[in-house]
Amino acid sequence: MNGFVSRVTNRIDRKGRVSIPAPFRQVLSRDGFEGLYCYPSIDMEAVDCGGNQLLAEIERNLARYAPFSEDHDLLSTAFYGSSDRLTIDSEGRIGLTPALLEITGITTEVTFVGQGYKFQIWEPSRFAAYELTARERARALRRAPKPAQKPEDGA
């Protein structure tokens, strides 16, 4: 897999920096993105992070809306206007902005959670609570009847 997988918790150092897990840095390096693109998650008390692959997913999502529509503007603000491009230092560390720390409640530790094309940054206890809910809902989704697949146009 070429995406972000796994979960790692790292401590924030006394200068306010945290090390991005090495496998995550490798994905970013292969992706060719300089730094780390981050924005507050729309639905959770977390930060969505990634590189070119994440930006491509955002563009695909925004392309469903007319460029000057209110919906496009709302999503553009959430994905771009509220974003930060963080620098990764030579030792693989980033410094989280005060705004990102406030949104997440992060103080001393950071949990990095891989999600394929992106990863999330969480305060560890908040992620633990979210993970329980996510697993419950994922089990329910697996048990639910699957919608019938629609044939592709022109098939």
Query: Where along the chain do its domains lie?
Result: 7-143
Q: Look at residues 121, 122, 120, 117 and name the one whose alpha carbon lies nearest to residue 58.
A: 117
Among residues 111, 140, 130, the alpha carbon closest in space to that of 43 is found at: 130
The per-residue pLDDT for 145 is 81
| One-letter-per-residue 3-state SS of 72-93 | HHHHHHHHHHCCEEECCCCCCE
Residue pair 113/123 in contact (Cβ under 8 Å)? The answer is no
pLDDT-above-70 percentage for the chain: 94
At residue 25, φ and ψ (nearest 5 deg) are -65, -35
Which of 1-5, 65-69, 146-150 ranks highest by mean pLDDT?
Answer: 65-69
83 phi, psi to nearest 5 deg = -95, 165
Is the pLDDT at 155 greater than 70? The verdict is no
**Assigned fold of 7-143:** Chemotaxis protein chec (3.40.1550)
Task: Work out the average pLDDT over 112-121.
Answer: 98
| Dihedral of alpha carbons 99, 102, 106, 111, sign | negative
Return left, alpha or beta for 143; rule: phi > 0 is left, psi -120 to 50 is alpha, else beta. alpha
Q: Which amino acid is at 38?
A: C
Query: What is the pLDDT confidence band of residue 151, given thresholds at 50, 70 and 90?
Result: low
